[in-house]
Structures are given as C-alpha cells and as structure tokens.
Chains A and B, each alone.
Chain A
C-alpha cells in the first residue's frame, strides 16, 4: 500500500507540478462548456418557439434530454482525445528517461507501480469531471432537473473513465515514444467506440459480438437513465482486462526466453 501511494504521489506531483493537469482541465472544461452553452441556447430557442406557436409538443420538451444527455455524450467524446494525452507519459516517459530501470530495480512490484499510476490518472480525471458537473449545478438553480438520469450519467462517466485510462496505460507500456503511445490509444479508443457500425453488416453471432464490444452501446442506456448491471460489469471488467494486459506486457520482459 505504501508503495502504491509513493507512485501515486509522484505521478500526482508530476501532473500538477507541470502544466499538464491545468492545460488538460482547461481544454476539457472549455470544450464541454461550449457544448453545454450551445445546447442550452438551442433548448431556449425551441421553448420560446413552441410557446409562441402554442403547439402541444411543448409538453414533451425536457431539459434533461435536450441539454444534460447531449452534454454527457459529448464529454465522452472529448475524453477520447484528452485521456491519451494524460496517459501517454505514464510508462513511455519513464522508459525514455531511464527511470524505468530505477523502478524495476527497487523492491516494489510492477502491479504496485501500475495501480499507483492508474489511480493518479483516474483521480485527476475525476477531479476534472467534478468541475464539469459545476455546469449542471448552475443549471439546477434555474430549472427543475430530473436527478435520476444525472446520477446514472455520472456513473457512466466514472466507469468509462476507468476503461479509457486503462487502454491509454496499455498503449504507454508498449513503447518508449510518447507520441506513439498517444496515437495507439486514440486508435484503440476510437475503434472500440465505433466498432458497432460494422455490426449492421455482420450476421448473427458477429452482430452480437460487435455490438457487445462497442463502448458507445454500453454507455447509451446509462446516459439516458437506465442502469443495467451488465453494462456496469462490462466497464469494470474491460478496465481490469486492459490493466491485466499491461501488467503482462511489463512482466513479460522478465520471462526467460
């Protein structure tokens, strides 16, 4: 535990001691704020229009589905770009700078190093998310929100972050070049995101498999307010699987040929 905390503390210091944490938080909050604002203005326009037109559909309009849900959907999209930049340095930089040798010759296991690094990135991710929830907080002061879908959306954010980060760490453990690590994780994440597009043209069993692998498929219900345990299990096991792969990659260098 002490070892995990030592690595965690070191990574946190490195995120906050350099511009990385601030730039990434700034970029994320700017983009998600931009989307939030636009959705809100559009919602406003629609209500004004429907009210003037005295149309019945105004009863169907709701701030949750028009503003909060698109906000969550767009967030996961920005994270696909931001997370590779947070994870790319985790192993690649250590390998390039020679400090990987220091860690591996210290009495600390590769699992402890991995968990420490994962937690540091995850905590940073959650901190940025907490700030983004400030937008919803402001909205709640001026409108009647349905909190159920917001909590389930928050759960989706918590779960999908763990999966994204574990994919990014795997990419970083494969190379000592940070750019390659970032590109690899973009590729993995985007592929996992849109893999269900291929499902439309696949038959029977492949249809099921491709649908199952798609990240977007598993977030959709949760963002709309339906928490299905099978989605929760999917994200937890996906994160665990990628972390396990990373651990195997790191340990494999100690295998005898």
Chain B
C-alpha cells in the first residue's frame, strides 16, 4: 500500500530524513517511533505531498507522490500534530467544507458526516464553534476530518499528544477501530502507545531508520533486557554479590538505595532473587519491574545495529 524508497529530505546541509525505505501492507497499523526531532513529521509531510523530497520517492496505492500528487491526496487522510481547524466554524459546517475539498460526492456527504460524527463521538457537538471545544474534542474533530472521505490510508502525527489519560485511551480505541479496513501510519514518542495500537514499528532516530520490526519482536527484545529494582534491608554489597551469582542474571548495579538487577533470558527470575535475599537473612523491602525509557531502547537498538 505504501512503498517508501530511499527517501531523503534535506534543509540545506541538514538531513531531516536521511535515506529511509520501508513498506506498509494493506490493513497494517505502523507506528513511527522516535524522540522529538527524529524526522517523523517530515516523513509524514513528504508522504502527504505537503513537502517535496530532496531525493528518493514513495508510492501510495501505486501512485507516485511526486508525479501524481492529486491521486495520492484523494487516497489519504491526514491528521497533523496540530489539528487543522477553523476556529470560527461550527463542527458541521467545517465537515461540510472538508467533504467538498476532499471530493466527497454531494449526495454522499451528509451520510458520511453523520457516520463520522458518531465514530468520533462528537454527535452532540456538531453545532458548536470549534474555537469553543476542548482540546480532546478538537482532536476528535481532526480525526473526523481525516477519515471523512473514507481514505485507504490514514496518516496521523502524534494523535494522542496533549490529551488527558482518558482521552488517550479513547483515541487509541478509535484508531484501532478505524484501522480494521484501512492502512494506518501514526507517529509517537510514547513506547506503550505503539505496543497497544500497532502491528509494526519503524524506529527513527536522527533521520535514519534504526529498526523496523513487529511489535512482538520489539517487546521481546525489551524483555531481553528486563530490569528489576530491588530494595533490601541489610548489607547491600553482600546482597549484590549473592544475586549476581544467580544463573541468568546479567548485571547488577548499585544505586543509592537499592539494586538494579538485569537478566537476559525470558524466564522470570524474580522468585530466585527474592529466595536468595531471604537465604542471606535479609528483608526484601521492595521489588518492581522497571520500564526502560525510550532513550535506553534507542541506545540498545543503535548499539545492536552497530554490532551487526
């Protein structure tokens, strides 16, 4: 559905996107994961024909983004990071305007608007001025705008940024529903978001693709480097040495009030660790799994790339 071929976007000497290639199949949800400034937005802007690529190209549904932009635009729905809304319009008027410029047949428009306001949960807001809506509702109107013409491909730039936790859950739910018959690309810098919504992940760092993988593989890779935080009452140094001898533990590091224990196999060693602490006659005060930060995963991945 989407083929990106050696795409490069340079601003002067600075390469915002540097020679990236990947494919997205029909019906897939692909997450672009990367820290801020990694090139996610630029890639999306090139794919939506908003910015030209410096080199390389991409095809969406078989149409080249440079040679056939109008055909590409008919087939994509795009939600930029800041929803593109006219604050002085009412929601329904806005969607009517969108239907016109997206080429929805006038007969179809009414029916489609009625459908998307239900899908996006804005049925009771259609007569409100967009400027008076809360951020969560604006995001939904933005989503409604992106899916109104029933596009084959939906591209969303940080669809959950700036929303409160409840709204985030609702928007993710909505994305999963939408994706059932469409191809979706979304960008995020939040790792759990990718785990929850995407089939596949493209990790971008400084304009380059660091890894393309299924979500399962990525989580498996993270499990490789599971880290536990352990706090004990007693001599921390003795405990550290004892825990380090457990089979499967790859690393033990001291922090100011406890230990970080890493293990590299999938087997859960938490029972073995707690048993060892008790054997030493010490008290186990706290033990919890620590999520790796995105930065650490990037480090792990970039290091893995270099080893390869």
* A residues lining the B interface (CB < 8 Å): 2-3, 5-7, 9-10, 13-14, 17-18, 97-109, 253-257
Contact = CB atoms under 8 A, between A and B. Distances in A.
B176 interface: no
Given A105-B73, A107-B102, A257 B87 contact: no
A5 B100 CA distance: 9
A99 B86 contact: yes
B15 to A, nearest CB: 12
A120 to B, nearest CB: 13
Q: What 4 pairs between A and B have smallest CB-CB spacing? A: A102-B84, A6-B100, A107-B73, A105-B48
A105 B70 CA distance: 9
A253 B100 contact: no
B88 A14 contact: yes
Contact of A99 (B54, B66, B85): B85
A105 B76 contact: yes
B86 A97 contact: yes
20 contacts: A2-B100, A6-B100, A14-B86, A97-B84, A97-B85, A97-B87, A98-B80, A98-B82, A101-B80, A102-B98, A103-B101, A105-B48, A105-B78, A107-B74, A107-B102, A108-B101, A109-B70, A255-B52, A256-B53, A256-B54
Contacts of B48: 105
Given A17-B89, A99-B86, A253-B51, 8 more contacts: A9-B100, A10-B97, A97-B85, A101-B80, A102-B84, A102-B98, A104-B49, A255-B52
Contacts of B101: 3, 6-7, 103, 106-108
Nearest to B81: A98
B93 A13 contact: yes
Nearest to B53: A256
Nearest to B72: A107
Contacts of A6: 97, 100-101
Contact of B88 (A3, A18, A254): A18
B145 A102 contact: yes
Interface string B83-111: 11111110001000110111100000000
Contacts of A102: 78, 80, 84, 98, 145
Contacts of A3: 100-101, 103
